[in-house]
Amino acid sequence: MWALFRIMVSATLTGVATPFYLHWADQQSEIQLDKMQKAVHFTPGAEPPLPNEVLAGAVGLGVSHFAVGRALRLGWLEAFLSLIIGIMLGVGVFLYRMAGEEP
């Protein structure tokens, strides 16, 4: 019973953080694409398509999820399950918000 509660708490925290991360990563990627388009005539291939900050943020989100899982005394399988559930919830919220922004 308590294990299920801890899994849901961990998944909820990840589900809350994921939409914010995805929104920020989307903005950073758009900025990076603009930089790439401006630099295409002068330095071809000099700009990576995905900024390092976005990759570091993804790693940080994953590491913080497992740190919270350890604090909640979740096993690795339980923490991984809550990560999958949290990501699915977060992506769902992100897509729902994106659909609401479209005209």
- Average pLDDT, stretch 27-42? 80
- The Cα 40–Cα 94 span in angstroms is 31
- Answer for the pair 7, 68: CB distance below 8 angstroms, yes or no: no
pTM here is 0.83
pLDDT above 90 for 37: no
- Answer for the pair 90, 22: CB distance below 8 angstroms, yes or no: yes
Could you read off the pLDDT of 38-93 as tens digits, one per residue?
766 666 566 677 888 999 999 999 999 999 999 999 999 999 999 999 999 999 99
At residue 55, φ and ψ (nearest 5 deg) are -65, -40
